[in-house]
Amino acid sequence: MGKMIYSIIKASEEPTQITEVLSGLRGISGANLEFVQCADIIAVTCSAERKEVVADRSNTLDYAGVIDELSKTCTLLPVRFGSVMESEDDILKMLERNYQGIQNNLDKVEGKVEFGLKVFCDTEKLKSRPEIFGEENIKIFDKPPGRQNNSVYLDYVNKKLIEYRIEEALLLFVNSVIKEITDCCISVGANGKFRKMVNQNNIIDALFLVERSKTNGLIGVVKELQVKYPDLDFILTGPWPPYNFVDITIS
């Protein structure tokens, strides 16, 4: 009988607290939650047979729910869904072997929560109104110097050149928005990671690690950003347990 690991949490000074917290929760398919303790770190688990653990809607949401509840009262590192080890003994050994890395990560996320900020826009629509990008666009429609003749090939190049310049202006614009977001987040002490131009619609995909107490501050920052950029759509989600801020692979 395997054991699936939900998360790794920091043990509190009260030894009975973990039992109390877990007794009030249920894991996937209503499973009881157990734990394996190694010094001051605890792996939260439940019994699992590999073939019974299916990544379907219900299981994954139950799983996320457990982690979410735990994160309200504990410092924790979420574990990826589907991590099943053979026995509690194996889990204990794993915790011992990786103790330092786990501790470092727990310290990093203590008292903090994760937020996701996605910025959307219709890039095709924006490209048809390059004035939105700012002064860079002034140069977009300039013919390169020395272009005298006309020919179908030169026309083609000019067309492509304009497309290229608009694309470059868009990238510069995205960089400037990221800079603006970063500057505005200084006031809430947010640690941010950014992905640019994820696809046609999603120009920025950002993640922040912030002290829980600064949640409202961050919401306020995003509201201001939305006002500053009426042609973009900001979507802020959270607070999340720190899924994206754990950098440890355990083997």
Nearest Cα neighbor of 1 from 81, 64, 85, 68 is 85
Nearer CB in complex with another protein: 12/202: 202
* Cα→Cα distances 220→42, 225, 239, Å: 36, 9, 14
Contact 181, 225 (CB under 8 A): yes
Q: What is the dihedral of CA 236, 109, 10, 62, to 10 degrees?
A: 20
Q: How far is the CB of 20 from another protein (least distance, A)?
A: 21
Q: How far is the CB of 195 from another protein (least distance, A)?
A: 7
| 62 vs 49: CA distance, rounded Å | 17
Q: What single DSSP character describes residue 32?
A: B
Q: How far is the CB of 220 from another protein (least distance, A)?
A: 9
| 40 vs 11: CA distance, rounded Å | 5
Nearer CB in complex with another protein: 13/197: 197
| 140 vs 122: CA distance, rounded Å | 20
Q: How many CA atoms lie within 13 A of 19 on its CB side?
A: 3
Nearer CB in complex with another protein: 5/18: 5
Q: How far is the CB of 16 from another protein (least distance, A)?
A: 26
Q: How far is the CB of 132 from another protein (least distance, A)?
A: 16
Radius of gyration of the chain (CA): 25
Nearer CB in complex with another protein: 14/237: 237
Nearer CB in complex with another protein: 14/126: 126
Nearer CB in complex with another protein: 192/239: 239
Give Cβ neighbours of residue 199 (< 8 Å, ≥ 6 apart).
none
Q: How far is the CB of 164 from another protein (least distance, A)?
A: 4
